[in-house]
Structure 1
Amino acid sequence: MASLPRTAPMLATPGRLPSAAADEQWAYEVKQDGQRAMVYAEADGTLRLLARSGADITPAYPDLAALGKALGGVRAVLDGEIVALDGQGRGDFERLQSRMGLSGSPHKAARMARLVPAHLVLFDVVFLDGASLTARPYTERRAALEGLMLDGSHWSTPAAVVGHGDSALAMTREAGLEGVVAKRLTSVYEPGVRARTWIKIRHVRTADVIVGGWVPGRGRLGGLPGAVLVGERHPGGLRYAGSVGTGWSDAERTRLAGLLDAAAVGTCPFDEDPRVAGARWVLPRLVGEVGYATRTKAGRLRHPSWHRLRPDLAPDDIG
């Protein structure tokens, strides 16, 4: 029997909701906060999980192995996201991190599977019973996926909503979820392509932060900041909040380099040294606004992006 076709995952392009006029031409799915996985299920029930990079992550998730048997002998290649659910049933990436990277430690993976169960959210099928579905439209692939009736304690096929994009986005915001992925109903599956027919819309939160350090860029960014290290004021000092490495134009990066150079200092201004390789410290007097997706339990910003300097604010004005 021929091996299942290895398929790179199709990727969504960051963007905005489709226009109201085109709303009914799109389906909306909840954007998951986990680890992307292509699932290869053989007729004998064996299952293989490959990460977006192509790495085999099957041994890291022994609690998902039974999905192969649940397919009842159907050979399939499925697309989904592995998450670790919090108490409210939402994907918690910080929890999932304790499960990632354990492919070389099967005993630890088995122990962690009991402590932090994995859950596989399925949202596409690209190969089914000997036939590739990549050239089929989203609606046909989605119907085929739902026909497999894959819902269990460790995997599920959440509903997709056609139209009502504004409502879907508002619902995810109220529920504290990351956002939605809009998929054009006619879209084919394009392996490895970041396509405009899939659009991810994240809820962006903002925070005013204090710059306490920076890391030089590489290549053409040599001498300019590749990332800034930011913190947030609290009564005891300055708590490290993360590293921000995107969001600047070349002109903004150059301007920031001058301000950082003028504020250079020899000691770390944060409560605890974040131990960032190559870090250069500055007086904590520059205030900036950053966007971010969520926070870790320790208060670190996830997916931060630089928005702008806030010369109208002094460090003592925020916190």
Structure 2
Amino acid sequence: MLATAGALPPAGVEDRWAFEVKQDGQRAMVYLPGDGSLLVRARSGTDITAAYPELLPLADALGPRSPVLDGEIVALDEQGHSDFERLQQRMGLVSAPAKAARMAARVPAHLMLFDLVHLDGRLLTKLPYAERRALLEGLGLAGPAWSTPAAITGHGAEAWAMAREAGLEGLIAKRLTSRYEPGARSKSWVKIKVHRVADVVIGGWVPGRGRLTGLPGAVLVGEPLDGLLHYAGSVGTGWSQTERTRLAELLQNAAIDACPFAQVPPVAGARWVLPQLVGEVRYTSRTRAGRLRHPSWHRLRLDIPLDDLTG
């Protein structure tokens, strides 16, 4: 079951929803037959058990009980937040169990459990979320590499504010009465992302294709530091057609031959511009290299002089 992007439920009905922290990892279904074995499948259905050897002790956690669990495999950063960039080092090691074991010591994975779809021969998908959640919590699944993070009923605005303050990716709101819909992207699960805002300087752009021919498909942005413009990523969404056309004119007028970034970004077909246009972008988080994750254009900031960014 997949979530639909959206906004917080209105305050008047938020007591009909539960709120969970949105994890940034690899979705997994976990099968415990009750015979001491364990099977972990990715969202695609691929068997990924061998990639995460630290999860193997989970096979004995419930004795003869046989649940099918839904969750997210994550790698945690120093603040205990899920970090997809860290997890990428663990993914794709199914055919290399020796390397997976070595990486488990360096970058441990953790399974965050949030739903229960089958238990002891009983299919639970028709039960409401609140009942499935109670059954899941009743299993008491908490171990060295797995846990059942809390879900808060109601208080959505407070939960979102806490997620934002803690630097988390966002929330998943789940309707208490909702059934589990296998394979469906349901409006009964809503993902609410916490977007951050940054002021950036445009240093280049990449021409669009198809209906965007002659217009910027994406702009390359950076942030000034110590007199240099440091590349922060590529932004390719968030414009209306009118805004994109206006930006194309500004970029054409600012064209230069040399790359203005401290290091040339690894972007094919890039065109460079004088770093004088300031924009505001929304993003979810940053990589360890400082790049913006999931950036989208918000607005051109003609009201901000470049000197305000450079100090």
TM-score range, shorter chain: over 0.9
Shift of 1:239: 0.4
Match of 1:103 among 84, 94, 99: 94
Residues 132-154 of structure 1 show CA distances to partners (whole Å, capped at 9, x for unaligned) of 22222101111121122111010
Per the alignment, residue 302 of structure 1 pairs with: 293
In the alignment, structure 1 residue 130 sits paired with structure 2 residue 121: yes
Q: Residues of 2 paired with 1:265 and 1:48: CA distance? A: 56
Amino acid at match of 1:78: L
Q: CA RMSD in A?
A: 1.9
Cα deviation code 1:211-258 (max 9, x no counterpart): 112223344333332322110011131001111122122222232223
Match of 2:243, SS state, is: helix
Q: Could you tell me which residue of structure 1 aligns to residue 74 of structure 2?
A: 83
The whole-number CA distance in structure 1 between the counterparts of 2:124 and 2:269 is: 48
Task: Flag as ranges the 4+ runs of structure 1 deviating above 6 A.
Answer: none
User: Mean alpha-carbon deviation: is it higher for 281-290 or for 250-259?
Assistant: 250-259
Q: Using the alignment, how far apart are the partners of 1:192 and 1:277 within structure 2?
A: 36
Q: Which amino acid aligns with 1:228?
A: V
Conserved 8 A contact 1:45-1:71? no
- How many residue pairs end up in the alignment? 310
Q: Secondary structure at the match of 2:47?
A: coil
Q: What does residue 231 of structure 1 align with?
A: 222
Counterpart position of 2:183: 192
Q: Structure 1's 20 and 209: CA in aligned 2 closer, same or farther, altered over 3 A? A: same
CA shift for structure 1 position 64: 1.3
CA contact (8 A) 1:38 1:49 kept: yes
Q: 1:138 to 1:209 in 2, by over 3 A?
A: same
Counterparts of 1:199 and 1:297 in 2: how far apart (Å)?
28
Alignment match of 1:182 (pick from 155, 164, 173): 173
Amino acid at match of 1:307: H
Equivalent-residue separation in structure 1 for 2:284 and 2:52 (angstroms): 26
1:40 aligns with 2:31: yes
> Which of 116, 124, 133 is equivalent to 2:107?
116
Q: Does 1:147 align with 2:138?
A: yes
Whether 1:286 aligns to 2:277 is: yes
- Listed as ranges, the matches of 1:12-27 within 5 Å are 12-27=3-18
Per the alignment, in what secondary structure is the counterpart of residue 197 of structure 2? strand
The Cα shift of 1:12 comes to 1.7
Q: Which runs of 5+ in 1 are unaligned?
A: 1-9
* 1:93-141 deviation line (CA, Å, top 9, x unaligned): 2322222232233222111100111111000112222232222210111
**Quick one: distance in 1 between partners of 2:208 and 2:30?**
37
Normalising by the residue count of structure 2, what TM-score does the alignment of the two structures yield? 0.92
Is 1:262 matched with 2:257? no
User: CA 1:248–1:77 in 2, change beyond 3 Å: closer, same or farther?
Assistant: farther
Counting aligned pairs with the same residue, the percent is 68
SS in 2 for 1:38: strand
Change (3 A) 1:45 1:305: farther
1:36 deviates by: 1.8
